[in-house]
Amino acid sequence: MKEYLDAVDERGVPTGEMVERGEAHEKGIRHRTAHLWLLRRKNGATEILLQKRALIKSSFPGCYDVSSAGHIPAGGDYAQSAVRELKEELGLDAKEDELIPCGDRTIIWDDVFFGKEYHDRQYTRVFALWRDPKESDYRFQAEEVASVLWMSLDECIEGVKRGDFENCIEIEELMMVKNAAVRD
C-alpha cells in the first residue's frame, strides 16, 4: 500500500499537493516529519533515549538515532504523528498534550540507495517527552528498531560532536532538545 504525504512550503505548510513517499524522495519534494526524543532524570542528570536502527534499514542501519520519528501522512499533523510513531516503533503510549515542542528544522540530504538517487527534503517538528519506561514496557517494531540506549544528554552531545559512536543524529537537533529540557 502506497503512503501519501503532503507536499509543503519552506515553512512546513501544506501546498495542497499530495505525493507518494517514494516519489517525494526520488524528486526531492519537501514533506513533513515528526521527531520525538524521550528524556528522563536519573542520578541528577538528564538522559536521552537513543534508538538503534534495525540492521535491515536501507539508510543508516545499526546507527543510533532519534528515540522515534516518522513521516506525517497526508492530512495528518505533527503531534498526532509523533505519538503514533512512538507507539508503532517502541510500543509506548503518550498523549499529544504531553509533548514539549523543541522547534522546527529543515533537513536536506542527498544519497544513493540500491543504485537509485535519494533526495530527502524534510520539514521536521522536534518534540521531547519526559518518560521513564520499564524494560517490559517496550515493544520494538522489528523492521525499524534493533534496541534502545539511555545516555546522559551531555555525553550524547559530546559523543555526537566527536563521532564516538555510530549515529545519524544532528547536533542542532540535540541542542534544541537540551534547550527545551532546561525550560521545562
pLDDT at 141: 97
Average pLDDT of the segment spanning 78-84? 97
Closest CA to 102 of 116, 82, 119, 86: 82
What does the mean pLDDT of the chain come to? 95
Average pLDDT of the segment spanning 58-70? 94
- Please give the model's pTM, rounded to 2 decimal places: 0.94
Element (H, E) at 79: helix 78-90
CA angle 76, 78, 81 (to 5 degrees): 65
Average pLDDT of the segment spanning 139-163? 97
Domain ranges in the chain are 4-183
Give the E-state strand segments of 30-115 in sequence order.
31-42, 45-53, 64-65, 68-71, 100-113
CATH class of the domain defined by 4-183: alpha beta
